[in-house]
Structure 1
């Protein structure tokens, strides 16, 4: 089982990690991609995490005779998501080396510029500027950056995909194994 968790996790991690690294390094040297960047990033995460569904279904149909309970399926999916998330974090950290750590400052400036363009008051701008300065300081700490990247970006998607996969596949009538004669 551990071998399968690692195999599917590494596959998912590479599917999400390679584009993340490539986008981080090549797209305007780390400048914020805005809403489209987030859409592309989360779409790639969902595509990568289809391996969770495939792995749970394969475990149910091949290894467990067509039946799996919710909690074991959920745990299996979460373990795969965790391995993929670790590769995601490593890919981001590698990309940060090429971006000379300018991401946080660029993100903070883009956030301030967007608020200014939306007509934020001076008090709102001062409060937002203080928050962005705190963010830049916090993001400079590798432990905080790694935790933020894993738990705020990847983990919620992995959790959701694992929940949905476990909920659907616990029903043995949902996409039953095809019997070949």
Structure 2
């Protein structure tokens, strides 16, 4: 995240690479798969239900997302407190002339909301947590394995 923010912040065109950002998130969240698989194989005898796997994956995603949010809060408030101003300037220079009034109002509203740390926390969670939950869902689907008891006839 810090690398991506620095790339965007220092580029006069404010370009980051969304593909690289989401790829990095998916790679990091792939640890969910390995965490659930390890727990299933070593602690649960090779069996886990979809619900239990999804719950465990979701908790891992929540921990990862929380770390992301905490890092962003420190980085934003300590190192790039004018990030929203820089971003607003970029958005306004790239929008169509007929949209400038509307976009100016939208960005002013966003800047005002971003003054509230709770909003910063919620918007930051919304960037990363959905990706983690999708990876948790896919992991649960791939790793679920039910134990069938043999009945004695």
In 1, Cα distance between the equivalents of 2:23 and 2:90? 23
Q: How many residues are matched?
A: 144
1:140 CA drift (Å): 1.6
1:142 CA drift (Å): 1.0
TM-score (norm 1): 0.72
Match of 2:41 in 1: 61
Task: Confirm or deny: 8 A CA contact 2:7 2:15 kept in the other structure.
Answer: no
Runs of 5+ unmatched residues, structure 1: 1-19, 173-181
TM-score (norm 2): 0.84
1:39 CA drift (Å): 2.2
Correspondent of 1:135 among 83, 99, 110:
110
**Do residues 34 (structure 1) and 15 (structure 2) align?**
yes
Spell out structure 1 runs of 4+ moving beyond 4 A. Answer: 28-33
Alignment deviations for residues 80-135 of structure 1 (CA, whole Å, 9 cap, x no partner): 11111111011111211111x1111222222222213xxx52xx321111111101
Provide closer, same or farther for how the CA distance between residues 86 and 125 of structure 1 changes in structure 2, counting only shifts above 3 A: same
Name the structure, 1 or 2, with higher relative contact order (CA <8 Å, separation 6+): 2
Alignment deviations for residues 117-171 of structure 1 (CA, whole Å, 9 cap, x no partner): xxx52xx321111111101111121111011101x21111011000000011114
The alignment's C-alpha RMSD in Å is: 2.0
Match of 2:29 in 1: 49
Runs of 5+ unmatched residues, structure 2: 147-153
Correspondent of 2:137 among 153, 163, 166:
163
In 1, Cα distance between the equivalents of 2:29 and 2:140? 13
Task: Confirm or deny: 8 A CA contact 1:30 1:103 kept in the other structure.
Answer: no
